[in-house]
C-alpha cells in the first residue's frame, strides 16, 4: 500500500493546545437552553439533562466551577454539582459568551469535532449503563467518561492534521496506537493537558500507567475473566476500579462510531466483558441500546454507528487522511493498520526520539505539597467526617481507609474482605500494600463456616483485637489453614453503612509485632468514621433515588 507522509505535532503546537480554551458548544444546545431559560418553572433539574447532552458545555461548566471553587475540585463529578456551585446567573452568562459549532458544519474540522462530541456523549451513556448499581457511582463515571474525550477536542479545533487520528481508526487502528502515531505525546504530556482542564481523577488516571494492568494483564483479560478463577487479586482489584470502566466505555464508543462490527470493536467487547464480569451478549445489547438512543438524540445514524450496522455489507465511517501541503522531512507512516501490540493501556509511552519539545519547563506548575503521615491522617478523617461525598464512590473511600491505616497510623498491612453474593464466603478485594503479612490470608477464599470469628463479625457489627492469648481462644474452631494464615496480633472490625455488615477490615504489623494502644485506638476511630461516611453516602443515594422516582 502506498505510504503517506503525516506530520507530527511540535512542542509549539502542544503549547498552543494547552492554552486553547475556545471550545464551541453545539448550536442546538444553545437554542434549547434559550427556550428552557424562559420557562417560569425553571429548575436546576430541568437544565441538567440539556447540559449533559453536550459534553463541550459540560467541559466549560467544569472549568468555571473549578476556577471559582478551587478547593472543591474533587466534588465536581456531575453537571448538577457544578451548576449548584456557580449558580444560574453565572451559567447564563457563560452560555451567552460561548461559540457554537453549526448543525451543518462548513469545515472538516468542525464536522470531526461534532462527531467527537457525539462519541463522548455515547461513552458517557455506556459508562452509566455499565456501572454496577450497588456502587452508586453511575453519575460520576458518566461524567468522567464524557470528559475523558476532551483532551482530543482542542486538537480538532486547532490542527487539521489531528484528523489523521480519526483516519487511523477508520483504517483499523486502535485508539492507543493511533494516539502514539499521530500525536507524539507521552502519558505525562496528556496528563498535563487533563489536569489543565480540571478533569476528574477517573479521567486523569487514564494517563497514569500505575492505575492500569501491565502488558501481561491485558493479554490475560483478552482471553480470561479474572473473577472466575480468582488467581490474580491485583488484576481483580484493578478491574473493579472506576477508571477501568471509563477506559472501556471510552474506547468502545470510538470503535462503535467508526466500525461497530470491526475486529477492534469485538476486541474491546471481549475486554469489557472480562473487566466488568458481564456476559458479552448483555454488553452488546446495551451497546445497541445506547447507539439507538444517540441516533435519535442527534438525528444522525452515522454518529453512533447505527447506519454502519444497517448496511448489508461491512461498512466503516471513513475519515480521509490530511496530508501536508508541502513535503516535510518527517517519518514515513503507512496508512495500513498497524500490527497489534501487546500493551493496551491508554497511557502507553512513545519512544524518546518522538517526544515533543519539553513543555513542562515553560509552563509553570504548582509544586506538590508533601504532607506528613499524621497530617495525612488528620485530613483523611476530616474528609470522612465532613465531606464523605467528595470521595465520589465507595471504591475511593475504601482505598482512603486502607491508606489511613498504613500510611497514617503506621501499620504494615491492611485489607478489606467482602462476601460473595450468597454471603457464604469472604475474599480480599482491597489490600494496602499488595504484599504483606496478610498475603497468605488474602489469597484464600474463606468459607464463613470454617471461620466462626469472621462469621460473627459478618453477623453483628463489632471490633476485635487479637493477641496470642485471645487468638488461641477465639480461633479454636477455625480451620487450621486459615488459623495459620492469620497473624497473632490482628485488628478486625466490621464494615457497615448503618445496617448489616458489608465486609471486614483487618490490619496488622510485620513480623508478629504487637500493635500499641495508640494504633488500636486510632484504628477504631478511623473505622467508625468510615462506617459513618458509608452510611451518609447510602442515605444520600436513597434520597436521590426517591427524588428521581417522583
pTM of the model: 0.61
| pLDDT on residue 139 | 86
What's the chain's average pLDDT?
A: 81
Q: Where among 277, 296, 318 does a domain terminate?
A: 318
Residue 492: which H helix or E strand, with range? strand 490-495
CA angle 52/58/63 to nearest 5° reads 160
Looking at the structure, do residues 266 and 388 belong to the same domain, yes or no? no
What mean pLDDT comes out for the span 184-193? Answer: 80
- The answer to whether position 520 is within a domain reads yes
- The answer to whether position 338 is within a domain reads no
pLDDT at position 413 over 60? yes
Q: 425-432 and 503-508: which strand pairing?
A: unpaired
- The answer to whether position 314 is within a domain reads yes
Looking at the structure, do residues 412 and 297 belong to the same domain, yes or no? no
Residue-wise pLDDT tens digits, 332-382: 333 333 333 333 333 333 333 333 333 222 333 333 344 457 888 888 888
Is the Cβ–Cβ distance between 257 and 122 less than 8 Å? Answer: yes
Looking at the structure, do residues 388 and 292 belong to the same domain, yes or no? no
Conformational region of residue 364, where left means phi above 0, alpha means psi within -120 to 50, and beta covers everything else: beta
| pLDDT on residue 50 | 93
Q: 490-495 and 503-508: which strand pairing?
A: antiparallel
Is the Cβ–Cβ distance between 512 and 489 less than 8 Å? Answer: yes
- Which DSSP string corresponds to 194-244? HHHTT--HHHHGGG-GGGS--HHHHHHHHH--HHHH---HHHHHHHHSHHH
Looking at the structure, do residues 151 and 280 belong to the same domain, yes or no? yes
Q: Where among 272, 288, 318 does a domain terminate?
A: 318
Looking at the structure, do residues 485 and 378 belong to the same domain, yes or no? yes
**433 cis-preceded (ω within 30 degrees of 0):** yes
- The answer to whether position 349 is within a domain reads no
Looking at the structure, do residues 377 and 502 belong to the same domain, yes or no? yes
Residue ranges making up the domain that contains 157:
108-174+233-318
Ranges 72-81, 167-176, 247-256, 455-464: which has the least confidence: 72-81
Give the percent of the chain with pLDDT over 90: 22
Looking at the structure, do residues 258 and 381 belong to the same domain, yes or no? no
- The answer to whether position 196 is within a domain reads no
| pLDDT on residue 549 | 62
Residue-wise pLDDT tens digits, 34-92: 998 888 878 888 899 999 999 999 999 999 998 888 777 767 888 988 888 888 889 99
Looking at the structure, do residues 393 and 534 belong to the same domain, yes or no? yes
pLDDT at position 3 over 70? no
Task: Kindly list the distances between the CA atom of residue 115 and the CA atoms of 79, 121, 176, 282, 384, in Å, as whole numbers in the listed order.
Answer: 21, 10, 19, 26, 40
Residue found under cell 428521581? 548
CA–CA distance, 54 with 294 (Å, rounded to integer)? 12
Contacts with 157 (C-beta within 8 Å, 6 or more apart), sequence order = 20, 22, 23, 24, 109, 113
| pLDDT on residue 189 | 83
Looking at the structure, do residues 145 and 241 belong to the same domain, yes or no? yes
**Total count of residues recorded for the chain:** 550
Grid cell digits, residue 361: 519547563
Under DSSP, is residue 425 helix (H, G, I), strand (E, B) or coil? strand
Looking at the structure, do residues 491 and 394 belong to the same domain, yes or no? yes
Contacts with 416 (C-beta within 8 Å, 6 or more apart), sequence order = 398, 401, 402, 428, 429, 430, 431, 495, 503, 504, 505, 506
Specify the number of domains making up the chain.
2
- The answer to whether position 352 is within a domain reads no
CATH of the domain at 530: 3.30.450.40
Looking at the structure, do residues 415 and 314 belong to the same domain, yes or no? no
Q: Where among 278, 303, 318 does a domain terminate?
A: 318
Under DSSP, is residue 418 helix (H, G, I), strand (E, B) or coil? strand
CA–CA distance, 345 with 36 (Å, rounded to integer)? 42
Contacts with 106 (C-beta within 8 Å, 6 or more apart), sequence order = none
Amino acid at each position: 500500500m502506498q505510504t503517506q507522509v503525516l506530520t507530527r505535532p511540535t512542542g509549539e503546537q502542544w503549547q498552543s493546545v494547552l492554552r486553547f480554551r475556545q471550545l464551541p458548544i453545539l448550536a442546538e444546545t444553545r437554542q434549547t437552553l434559550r427556550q428552557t431559560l424562559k420557562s417560569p418553572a425553571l429548575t436546576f433539574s430541568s437544565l441538567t439533562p440539556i447540559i449533559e447532552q453536550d459534553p463541550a458545555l459540560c467541559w466549560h461548566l467544569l472549568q468555571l466551577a473549578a476556577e471559582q471553587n478551587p478547593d472543591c475540585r474533587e466534588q465536581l463529578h456531575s453537571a448538577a454539582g457544578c451548576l449548584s456551585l456557580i449558580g444560574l446567573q453565572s451559567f447564563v452568562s457563560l452560555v451567552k459568551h460561548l461559540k457554537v459549532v453549526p448543525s451543518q458544519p462548513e469545515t472538516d474540522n468542525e464536522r470531526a469535532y461534532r462527531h467527537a462530541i457525539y462519541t463522548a456523549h455515547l461513552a458517557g451513556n455506556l459508562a452509566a449503563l455499565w456501572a454496577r448499581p450497588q456502587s452508586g457511582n453511575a453519575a460520576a463515571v458518566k461524567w468522567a467518561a464524557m470528559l475523558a474525550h476532551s483532551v482530543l477536542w482542542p486538537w480538532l479545533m486547532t490542527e487539521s492534521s489531528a484528523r489523521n487520528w480519526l483516519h487511523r481508526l477508520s483504517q483499523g487502528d486502535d485508539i492507543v496506537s493511533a494516539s502514539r502515531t499521530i500525536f507524539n505525546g507521552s502519558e505525562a504530556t496528556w496528563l498535563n493537558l487533563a489536569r489543565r482542564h480540571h478533569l476528574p481523577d477517573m479521567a486523569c488516571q487514564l494517563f497514569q500507567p500505575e492505575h492500569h494492568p501491565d502488558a501481561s494483564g491485558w493479554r490475560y483479560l483478552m482471553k480470561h475473566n479474572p473473577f472466575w478463577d480468582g488467581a490474580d487479586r491485583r488484576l481483580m482489584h484493578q478491574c473493579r476500579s472506576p477508571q477501568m470502566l471509563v477506559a472501556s466505555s471510552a474506547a468502545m464508543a470510538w470503535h462503535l462510531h467508526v466500525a461497530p462490527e470491526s475486529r477492534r470493536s469485538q476486541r474491546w467487547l471481549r475486554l469489557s466483558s472480562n473487566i466488568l464480569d458481564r456476559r458479552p451478549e448483555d454488553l452488546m445489547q446495551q451497546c445497541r441500546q445506547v447507539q439507538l438512543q444517540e441516533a435519535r438524540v442527534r438525528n444522525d445514524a452515522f454518529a453512533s454507528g447505527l447506519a454502519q450496522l444497517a448496511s448489508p455489507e461491512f461498512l466503516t465511517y471513513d475519515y480521509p487522511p490530511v496530508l501536508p501541503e508541502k513535503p516535510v522531512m518527517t517519518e514515513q507512516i503507512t496508512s495500513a493498520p498497524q500490527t497489534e501490540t501487546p500493551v493496551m493501556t491508554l497511557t502507553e509511552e512513545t519512544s524518546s526520539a518522538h517526544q515533543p519539545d519539553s513543555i513542562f519547563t515553560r509552563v509553570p506548575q504548582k509544586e506538590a505539597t508533601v504532607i506528613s503521615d499524621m497530617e495525612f491522617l488528620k485530613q483523611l478523617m476530616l474528609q470522612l467526617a465532613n465531606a464523605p461525598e467528595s470521595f465520589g464512590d465507595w471504591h475511593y473511600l475504601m482505598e482512603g481507609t486502607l491508606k489511613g491505616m498504613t500510611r497514617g497510623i503506621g501499620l504494615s498491612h491492611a485489607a478489606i474482605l467482602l462476601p460473595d453474593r450468597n454471603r457464604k464466603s469472604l475474599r480480599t478485594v482491597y489490600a494496602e500494600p499488595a504484599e504483606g503479612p496478610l498475603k497468605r490470608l488474602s489469597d484464600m477464599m474463606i468459607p464463613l463456616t470454617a471461620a466462626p470469628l469472621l462469621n460473627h463479625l459478618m453477623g453483628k457489627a463489632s471490633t476485635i483485637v487479637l493477641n496470642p492469648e485471645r487468638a488461641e481462644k477465639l480461633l479454636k474452631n477455625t480451620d487450621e489453614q486459615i488459623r495459620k494464615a492469620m497473624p497473632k496480633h490482628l485488628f478486625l472490625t466490621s464494615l457497615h453503612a448503618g445496617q448489616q455488615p458489608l465486609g471486614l477490615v483487618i490490619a496488622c504489623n510485620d513480623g508478629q509485632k504487637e500493635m500499641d494502644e495508640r494504633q488500636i485506638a486510632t484504628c477504631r476511630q478511623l473505622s467508625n468514621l468510615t462506617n459513618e461516611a458509608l452510611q451518609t453516602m447510602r442515605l444520600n443515594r436513597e434520597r436521590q433515588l426517591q427524588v428521581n422516582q417522583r
